[in-house]
Structure 1
Amino acid sequence: MFWLMILIFLFWMIIFVDFQRGFKSLPSIDHQACKDERSLISVIIAAKDEEESIKQTIETLLNQKYVKLEILAVNDRSTDLTGSIIENISAHHPNVHSITINNLPSGWLGKNHALHIGAQQAKGTYLLFTDADIYFHENVVSQAVTFLKKENLDHLTAAPNLRAGSFFLKGLISFFLFGFAYLKRPWTANRPSNKGGMGVGAFQLLTNACYKGISGHRAIRFRPDDDLAMGLRIKKLGYRQNLVTALRSLSVEWYPDLPSAFKGFEKNAFAGLNYSVSFALLAILGVFTSQILPFITIWSDRLPLQIISAFTIGLLFYLYALTTRHLTTYSVWMVFGLPFFAMLFIYMLSRALLLTFLRGGIEWRGSRYSLKELKKYYRNSEEE
């Protein structure tokens, strides 16, 4: 056990070096100076049953300064008042266009199809893909375009503030971001090579030419992780990309409570693990061994094991705090809940994988997608 803990400690030391370099390369656009942008920017929103948030999202976009926007709000088969709300706003604002989708063609996920339809009607030099529950600070689109042009980028994606109410929901979100950071290394998006890449669904700004160059959403039409898949494809095809944070300029309530988070995780869990059972089991074992086991072995009666466990725990707390400080607005005191959040994450991941297999696929926003189809289109998108 002592030598296993030595290996775990060395693993986190490697992550420590990567985190130190990586987070320094993630700029924020919160204080980016604004400039008037004369080019048209097409904002494309996919909305399915979003009556509680769509009005606020569109209104905060209408309040944007220093930019010329057209807003294409796509009502994707909603069964609530989403469509009526969009149509009412568009009747009073000529730059808001209401698009309604009544049927989902085979071979497409609903959100990806809605964004694809919106993009087909977009006239802007720049396209901004976003969600229907995002709050935009009045200068953020101008700040983003200014940054994109200053850095000569084709694609800019921004991480928002993920609002959460309860302590355990904040813990689950911050733990997810911690795992995402060491597994996906999001800062690779900001490096010149075409390896790595990143996409955040809340804010994907890219040139129209770049979007067409990657074959748009058609190339990722059956990917539940459409935002990340698009970012990876953009980078793979040699376009210039950056990930930034916008914790003061963008915000979203990712999930209102823990049950909603568990439900939402069902959509992306298996996709994030490349639809691999062995990878999924390895992920569960890896989280337990590297992030829970040290809190158990520190109670050993062997002093050397206690010492290395204590050093490992200290390193884990530091890395978790670093992630929390850079990617959230939560208190760094959250770090002391790490072992509990890790167990909660293992439960959530195990639950999502079990349900995916029992159902033979995923259910999302009223639609069901088979695992066979998801795997097929995942392989196809990787080969294209």
Structure 2
Amino acid sequence: MLHLLFYALIGIGIIQLLYYLVVFGKFSFLKNNNSTPKRIPISVIVCAKNEEENVQKFVPLLLEQNYPEFEIVLIDDSSSDNTLEIFEAFEKQHSNVKLVKVENNEAFWGNKKFALTLGIKAAKHEYLLFTDADCYPTSTNWIKEMSAQFTLKKTIVLGYGAYEKIQNSFLNKLIRFETLLTATQYFGWAKIGKPYMGVGRNLAYKREEFFKVNGFIDHMKIRSGDDDLFINQAANGANTTICFSKDSFTYSKPKTTFKEWFTQKRRHVSTASYYKGFDRFQLGLFYFSQLSFLLLAILLLSFQYLWMIVLPIVLFRYLIAWLVMGYAANKLNEKDVIYWYPFMEIALLMVQLNVFLSNIFSKPVHWK
């Protein structure tokens, strides 16, 4: 039995190396994407529901963007706080702000996708740049950097949505490590020509891509997925590119309690179950190979079975993964989480296992 487990470790180790070196390495070892700035008009779209504090702070940062022609489409999704009043004030003060008011609709009640659809239709320009109400760009060149990636063929741009750093917080490092790993995955697959997701915190596409797939209609009943399910359906190797210059990042405030973050992860994982078959397979295979490699390594080493061979195999796998993720972390300004890499990976595996088991027995709650 131990003999078979030893060969299983080797086989799973090869799968892991293929993921890290071939898929993730496609992004990690990529040269910086310096593109020629464009002057195409951009509509920045922000959808908010009960976000009065965030929009008061972050909309002014959008207005300060260093870009020749852009509008900001503010969508109030039937807020019960002062979000609508704040949006109305911005519209009165700035000529390039457009307000879209969404009334409660019985057929689409509480559905962010319905609100976004109204905002997309109301946008003046064909090129759309999305972020969330609780996000802010890292620089005044955010629009310039994201729009620079558009070409005649590349009409979908996947950006990086980061989380703020909190000093001396293991949870914060774990959240940012998971965000780093996810971005490395979807950037790597996009470079291979198999894009499967993006994040609504930092995402751009031409409006025609939205209408080509009839918007969100195929997954309108699924409360989440206005970003990743749309990209999973609309993106392909020909029309999709990535943007990872540091001036193109957006930042959000991370969850500060494990319970809040765990609930958020449950929503994300439940949405991924609606991805295309290949994408579900590759994500499942990566997680299975991660967990299996760890368990097999522990089992074989605990029995000291061929430990002089098993230990170097384990160390080599973690060294390669550490190296690949280190290059990705340098690109995405997350270097501090890599110092704790092996611990972060093991902790994240345990969280993901708990998320999977929790979702089997109950459904997570989505958009507010």
TM-score calculated relative to the size of structure 1:
0.78
1:171 aligns with 2:143: no
Partner SS for 2:7? helix
CA distance in 2, matches of 1:227, 1:26: 26
Kindly report which structure 2 residues correspond to 1:109-188, keeping only aligned pairs within 5 A, or say none.
Answer: 110-136=111-137, 137-149=139-151, 152-165=153-166, 166-175=169-178, 177-178=180-181, 181-182=184-185, 185-188=186-189
Contact 1:163 1:253 (8 Å CA) reproduced? yes
Q: 1:256 aligned to 2:255?
A: yes
RMSD: 3.2
Q: Structure 1 stretch 132-141 or stretch 323-332: which is displaced more?
A: 323-332
Within 2, Cα distance between the matches of 1:241 and 1:167?
34
Question: Which structure 2 residues correspond to residues 285-364 of structure 1 after superposition, within 5 A?
Answer: 285-291=288-294, 293-294=296-297, 297-298=300-301, 301=304, 302-331=307-336, 333-334=338-339, 336-338=340-342, 340-359=343-362, 361-364=363-366
Is residue 107 of structure 2 the alignment partner of residue 103 of structure 1?
no
Q: Which has the higher strand share?
A: 1
Structure 2 unaligned segments of length 5 or more: list them: none
Tell me which amino acid in the other structure corresponds to 1:260. E
Identify which range, 167-176 or 3-12, moves more after superposition.
Answer: 167-176
Helix, strand or coil: the match of 1:226?
Answer: coil
- Partner of 1:58 in structure 2? 59
| Structure 1 gap ranges (5+) | 367-384
Task: Indicate the percent of aligned positions where both proteins have the same amino acid.
Answer: 21
Structure 1 residues 354 and 292, CA, compared in 2 at 3 Å: closer, same or farther?
closer
Partner of 1:232: 232
What is the CA-CA distance between 1:350 and the residue it aligns to?
Answer: 4.0
Q: CA offsets per residue over residues 70-95 of structure 1, 9 Å max, x none? A: 21111113233322221222221122
Kindly indicate whether residue 8 of structure 2 is the aligned counterpart of residue 4 of structure 1. Answer: yes
Q: Which SS does the other structure have where 2:235 is aligned?
A: helix
Higher normalized contact order (CA 8 Å, seq sep 6+, divided by chain length): 2
Amino acid at match of 2:17: M
Assess if the C-alpha contact under 8 Å between 1:74 and 1:101 holds in 2: yes
Q: Tell me the residue number matched to 1:14.
A: 18
Q: Distance in 2 between matches of 1:103 and 1:26?
A: 47
* Partner secondary structure for residue 164 of structure 1: coil
* Deviations 1:338-384, CA, capped at 9 Å, x for gaps: 2x43443344334434444444x331244xxxxxxxxxxxxxxxxxx
Partner of 2:70: 69
Partner of 1:272: 272
Q: Secondary structure at the match of 2:158?
A: strand
Q: Measured at CA, do residues 177 and 295 of structure 1 come closer, stay the same or move farther in structure 2, by a change above 3 Å?
A: farther
Cross-structure match for 2:241: 242
Q: 1:101 to 1:354 in 2, by over 3 A?
A: farther
Whole-Å Cα distance in 1 between the matches of residues 204 and 253 of structure 2? Answer: 20
CA contact (8 A) 1:74 1:115 kept: yes
Aligned residues: 352
Distance 1:173 1:245, change over 3 A: same
The amino acid across from 1:272 in the alignment is A
Question: Quick one: which amino acid aligns to residue 321 of structure 1?
Answer: G
Query: Secondary structure at the residue paired with 2:227?
Result: helix
Q: Distance in 2 between matches of 1:163 and 1:293?
A: 35
Contact 2:300 2:310 (8 Å CA) reproduced: yes
Distance 1:105 1:57 in 2: 31
Q: Note if contact 2:135-2:253 (Cα within 8 Å) is conserved in structure 1.
A: no
Q: Which moved further from structure 2: 225-234 or 173-182?
A: 173-182
Seen in structure 2, the aligned counterparts of structure 1 residues 167 and 298 have a Cα distance that, compared at 3 Å, is same
Measure how far apart 1:297 and its partner are: 4.7
Contact 2:128 2:206 in 1 (8 A): yes
Change (3 A) 1:243 1:214: same
Letter in 2 for 1:64: Q
One-letter code of the match for 1:348? Answer: V
